[in-house]
Chain A
Amino acid sequence: SAVISQKPSRDICQRGTSLTIQCQVDSQVTMMFWYRQQPGQSLTLIATANQGSEATYESGFVIDKFPISRPNLTFSTLTVSNMSPEDSSIYLCSVGDLGDPPYEQYFGPGTRLTVT
């Protein structure tokens, strides 16, 4: 398993601003993922962050709104841009090594974002 930390743990932001969430892992990992969990909902995958290449976004999510960086094998950032109240959610990063079964993912504690 891996130990994953996220910063900030929570924030309250005004609409129209941007917030960058950091995800730090205690070991090198091939795959990092960013999820959104809206109140009372399951997890929705935003994108897969690949080291050394562009992130791969899921349907309904675009780079202009959720730019992602992955400068090395232990760190990634997700920016929520031009925020609106609909972006209020928990944002989770996870890590996994898709090369080895059972291909499980390990999660950070999440960032609780409230947009007013």
Chain B
Amino acid sequence: GEDVEQSLFLSVREGDSSVINCTYTDSSSTYLYWYKQEPGAGLQLLTYIFSNMDMKQDQRLTVLLNKKDKHLSLRIADTQTGDSAIYFCAENGAGNNRKLIWGLGTSLAVNP
């Protein structure tokens, strides 16, 4: 069935780049998303990428998509302490209901 996998933890130093990785199984997904969840808060849509794109850049965020390997990554340049959060990868599932299929989330810790 449909599945999205992420590594659970990532620790970086302030100012370094962070790369959060995600793999998915549904080749029919048309959009893939990155959401951010800060402690005690809901989920915030960070960015998304259409499946026919290889890369999307939005300020400090760069999304790379390797559709052949079903691999998605989110790079955060110049990581700040305010970037500490859980990052969820999601894909829109096949079919008309377009449910989002979620990864378990990667907890990013930014150390000063």
Which residues of A are interface residues toward B (Cβ below 8 A)?
Answer: 1, 4, 41-43, 45, 48, 56, 92, 94, 96, 98, 101-110, 112
The reply to whether A42 and B88 form a contact with Cβ atoms under 8 Å apart is: yes
The residues of A that contact B100 with a CB separation of less than 8 Å are: 45, 105
The reply to whether A108 and B42 form a contact with Cβ atoms under 8 Å apart is: yes
The residues of B that contact A110 with a CB separation of less than 8 Å are: 41-42
The residues of B that contact A56 with a CB separation of less than 8 Å are: 97
The reply to whether A104 and B41 form a contact with Cβ atoms under 8 Å apart is: no
Residue of A whose beta carbon sits closest to that of B30:
A101
The reply on B33 being an interface residue by CB < 8 A is: yes
> A42 and B98 in contact (CB under 8 A), knowing A101-B31, A104-B33, A107-B42?
no
A102 to B40, CA, bound (A): 27
A94 to B104, CA, bound (A): 18
- The minimal Cβ–Cβ distance linking B81 to chain A, given in whole angstroms, is 22
The reply to whether A103 and B88 form a contact with Cβ atoms under 8 Å apart is: no
- Top 5 closest pairs, chain A to chain B, by CB: A107-B42, A107-B43, A109-B42, A102-B31, A42-B104
- The minimal Cβ–Cβ distance linking B18 to chain A, given in whole angstroms, is 20
A110 to B43, CA, bound (A): 9
Which residues of B are interface residues toward A (Cβ below 8 A)?
Answer: 30-31, 33, 35, 40-45, 48, 50, 88, 92, 97-100, 102-105
The residues of B that contact A104 with a CB separation of less than 8 Å are: 31, 33, 45, 48
A42 to B50, CA, bound (A): 23
A96 to B90, CA, bound (A): 14
Beyond known contacts A48-B97, A101-B30: 20 more, CB 8 A cutoff: A4-B42, A41-B104, A42-B88, A42-B103, A42-B105, A43-B43, A43-B102, A45-B99, A96-B98, A98-B97, A102-B30, A102-B33, A102-B48, A104-B45, A104-B48, A105-B45, A107-B35, A107-B42, A107-B43, A110-B42
A110 to B38, CA, bound (A): 12
The residues of B that contact A42 with a CB separation of less than 8 Å are: 88, 102-105
The residues of B that contact A45 with a CB separation of less than 8 Å are: 99-100
A2 to B61, CA, bound (A): 22
